[in-house]
A = this chain, B = another copy of it.
Amino acid sequence: MSVLGLVVEYNPFHNGHLYHLQKAKELTDPEVTVAVMSGNFVQRGEPAIIDKYARAEVALRAGIDLVVQLPLIYSIQDAGGFALGSIWTLDLLKVSDVVFGSESDNLKLLKRLAQIVVEEPQLYLERLKVHLKSGVSFPNARKYALRDYLALNYPGELPDIEEASSSNNILGLEYLAAIKKLGSTIRPHSIKRQGADYNDPEFKGSFSSATAIREMVLRGETERLKETVPDFSREILLREIKDKGAITLQSMEKLLMGLLRTTSRDEYAQYYGFVEGLDARFERCAESTSGIFDFLECVKTKRFTFTRIKRLVMNLLFKLTDEIVKNSWEKGPQYIKVLGFNEKGRAYLSSIKKNLGLPLITAAAQGKNFSRISSYEGVNLTVFREQFQRDLMGAAVYGLFQRGNLPDFEYKRHVIYRRG
CB <8 Å contact, B290 and A400: yes
* Number of residues on chain A facing chain B (CB within 8 A): 32
CB <8 Å contact, A257 and B400: yes
Smallest beta-carbon distance A412→chain B, Å: 10
Interface pick from A10-18, A190-198, A389-397: A389-397
How far apart are the CA atoms of A413 and B409 in the complex, in Å?
42
CB <8 Å contact, A318 and B262: yes
CB <8 Å contact, B397 and A258: yes
**Quick one: given A262-B318, A317-B262, A393-B262, are A288 and B408 in contact (CB under 8 Å)?**
yes
Smallest beta-carbon distance A283→chain B, Å: 10
B interface footprint on A272-295 (CB within 8 Å = 1, 0 otherwise) = 000000000000001111110010
Q: Is A366 an interface residue (CB 8 A)?
A: no
How far apart are the CA atoms of A254 and B396 in the complex, in Å?
12
CB <8 Å contact, A408 and B287: yes
Which residue of B is nearest A319, CB measured? B262
B interface footprint on A233-269 (CB within 8 Å = 1, 0 otherwise) = 0000000000000000000101101110110100000
B interface footprint on A219-233 (CB within 8 Å = 1, 0 otherwise) = 000000000000000
Q: Contact check: which of B289, B393, B407 meets A407 at CB < 8 Å?
A: B289
CB <8 Å contact, B255 and A290: no
Smallest beta-carbon distance A189→chain B, Å: 39
Smallest beta-carbon distance A334→chain B, Å: 17
Give chain B residues whose Cβ lies under 8 Å from the Cβ of A400: 254, 257-258, 261, 290
Q: Contact check: which of B254, B287, B317 meets A254 at CB < 8 Å?
A: B254
How far apart are the CA atoms of A411 and B261 in the complex, in Å?
14
Smallest beta-carbon distance A320→chain B, Å: 11
CB <8 Å contact, B287 and A389: no
How far apart are the CA atoms of A405 and B287 in the complex, in Å?
11
Q: Is A182 an interface residue (CB 8 A)?
A: no
**Quick one: given A264-B389, A407-B287, are A401 and B319 in contact (CB under 8 Å)?**
no
Give chain B residues whose Cβ lies under 8 Å from the Cβ of A257: 400
CB <8 Å contact, B405 and A290: yes
Give chain B residues whose Cβ lies under 8 Å from the Cβ of A259: 255, 258-259
Task: Point out residues on A near B: beta carbons under 8 Å.
Answer: 252, 254-255, 257-259, 261-262, 264, 286-291, 294, 317-319, 389, 392-393, 396-397, 399-401, 405-408, 411
